[in-house]
Structure 1
Amino acid sequence: MESLLLASFVAAFVLATVHVFAGRLRRLNRLPRSRWLSMAGGVSVAYVFVHLLPELARGQAVMEGSDIWVLSYLEHHVYLLALLGLASFYGLERLIKEHRRHLPEHAESHAGVFWLHIAAFAIYNGLIGYLLIQGENSSLTTLVLYCVAMGLHFLVNDFALQNDHKGLFRRRGRWFLAAMPLAGWTLGLATEISELAVSALTAFVGGSIILNVLKEELPEERDSRFSAFLLGSVGYSVLLLSFQGN
């Protein structure tokens, strides 16, 4: 148990370093979109569909047995929470893109818009760090698979946020986001939540991941690499399924 706890801390530290050092990989931040970022997005989506969605199915059974009237009222509550995560970040993305449309190409975002965006991703990163301990990572294997998928996802998010906020993100935002997986891990160490709450958080994070990956892959101007995205998603799916079979 202690070794798994230590491994989860190492995983939180690794996730934190992604935001610290991602800016040095400037060759990835170009058009047409780097095939490495497309592959990273494919890995993240594969993790959601092959690992998290089955967890959501189990979480649905937990919620259906709940005595909480709000949850018993909703027929597919866990999937609605995933939809809420997706819709929340979609609405935020539309706000940011509308804001950028009225700014010169290389101008930094206004402070209020910037901190709203960063605050949303800070909570998101904190939840991902929290689930390192409180989630379904009951073995070193599942913990490593989670860390790899979320680390690559953070890399995709980092370049998206740099494109949105320019130097303001590099100077301030990335440090704040880097601290949040460790903050979430610490909170997870200090508190314990019910299986119902874990299912709810997992659902919200899963829906958010899907939106945050696809919003970077789908726009035509990104000129994304479908072959790299497919390789990442298929390859990581095979890896996940091989470990699930053991």
Structure 2
Amino acid sequence: MTVLAGTLAVALAGIHVFAGRLRGLSGVPRSVWLSMAGGASVAYVFVHILPELHHRGAVLQRVGNRAFGSLEHHVYLVALLGFTFFYGVEQFARQSQESDEHSEVGGAKTKTKTGAGVFWIHIGSFTAYNALIGYLLVHRERPGVESLLLFATAMALHFVVNDFGLRDHHHEAYDRLGRWMLAVGVVAGWALGSATAVGELAVNTLFAFLAGSVVLNVIKEELPEDRDSRVWSFALGAGAYTAVLLAG
């Protein structure tokens, strides 16, 4: 299982390395495929991760182990923390980008790349995020090959969405360095997960943080007006992956 997880970690890393070569994902209106990938990623959170974590939290409570404390809202509070953290990171990057909009094309301001300091904070946060995903390839909320493949597929689609958004922020700096940092991050997370083990409560907490983060990182790409996103493609992606999850 560890070997399979490692293979999947390398495959996920390859998405960041090679996603820039995919044609037809950039431009306005937003690519149908990106919206579908985002919808599938969010479906995984709401249909698979959160219900499973809530169930496991209830089981831990019934055990009566006081070390776990009250877990009734634990999952959702940590998910909210993940959502809020990446909301702050995204706003930090967007405001920096907007403050540098000096050139105008056809009377409209054009976005510029972010500065070096913003780049390191933004990409550093996502490198840690990818390391978390790599770690959870080994330590999941539900064991088994099927669970691993469903998780890896959802994260692969999510990585495509993230890759597009980060390249839009950082331009050539992302292609030159950022994508490699993210690729290394997911493999490093898998290596750390292979060498260490944590308890069930810790795994639940990490997955909850990931859940909130995934929702924010998908929605932030779909909602801006200048994306001209297609609701139907997002819904189609969410519905299709929901069907896969419920059939599993």
Q: Normalising TM by the smaller chain, what interval? A: over 0.9
Alignment TM-score, normalising by the size of structure 1: 0.92
Partner residue in 1 for 2:215: 210
> Match of 2:200?
195
- State the Cα deviation string for residues 117-175 of structure 1 (Å, max 9, x = none): 01110111001110001113522222111111100100000000011111111111000
| Residue of structure 1 equivalent to 2:79 | 82
Aligned residues: 238
Task: Find out whether 1:117 has 2:122 as its counterpart.
Answer: yes
Q: Could you list the runs of 5+ residues in structure 1 that have no partner in the other structure?
A: none
Which digits, 9 at most, give the CA deviation of each residue in 1:63-116, with x for residues without a partner?
A: 645534xx6267512210000000000111111111111113353211111100
SS at match of 1:109: coil
Secondary structure of residue in 1 paired with 2:146: helix
Q: Distance in 1 between matches of 2:160 and 2:89?
A: 19
Identity of aligned residues (%): 52
1:134 aligns with: 139
Match of 1:240 in 2: 245
Distance 2:6 2:230 in 1: 34
Aligned equivalents of 1:150 and 1:156: distance in 2? 10
- CA deviation after TM superposition for structure 1 residue 60, in Å: 2.4
* More divergent stretch after superposition (39-48 vs 97-106): 97-106
Q: What's the counterpart of residue 159 of structure 2? A: 154
Does 2:111 align with 1:97? no
SS at match of 1:32: coil
2:33 maps to amino acid: W
Residue 58 of structure 2 contacts residue 71 of structure 2 at CA under 8 Å; is this kept in 1? no
8 Å CA contact 1:28–1:37 kept in 2: the answer is yes
Q: Distance in 1 between matches of 2:73 and 2:195?
A: 31
The equivalent residue for 1:183 is 188
Q: Is the 8 A contact 2:141 2:204 kept in 1?
A: no
Q: Give the RMSD, CA atoms, in angstroms.
A: 1.5
Q: Is the 8 A contact 1:106 1:166 kept in 2?
A: no
Deviation at 1:61, TM superposition (A): 2.3
1:31 maps to what in 2? Answer: 28
Q: Distance between the aligned counterparts of 2:79 and 2:135, measured in 1? A: 17
1:47 Cα deviation after fit: 0.5
Letter in 2 for 1:198: V
User: Residues 75 and 204 of structure 2 are in contact (CA less than 8 Å); yes or no, is this contact kept in structure 1?
Assistant: yes
CA contact (8 A) 2:57 2:72 kept: no
Does the Cα contact within 8 Å between 1:63 and 1:78 map onto a contact in 2?
no
The answer as to whether partners of 1:218 and 1:224 remain within 8 angstroms in 2 is: yes
User: In structure 1, what residue type is equivalent to 2:174?
Assistant: F
Alpha-carbon distance in 1 for matches of 2:76, 2:90: 21
Structure 2: tracts of 5 or more residues without a match: 102-109
Per-residue CA distance 1:21-50 (angstroms, 9 max, x = gap): 011114201111000000000110010011
For the residue of structure 1 that corresponds to 2:66, the secondary structure is coil
Letter in 1 for 2:214: I
**What amino acid sits opposite 1:52 in the alignment?**
I
Q: Report what 1:6 is aligned to.
A: 3
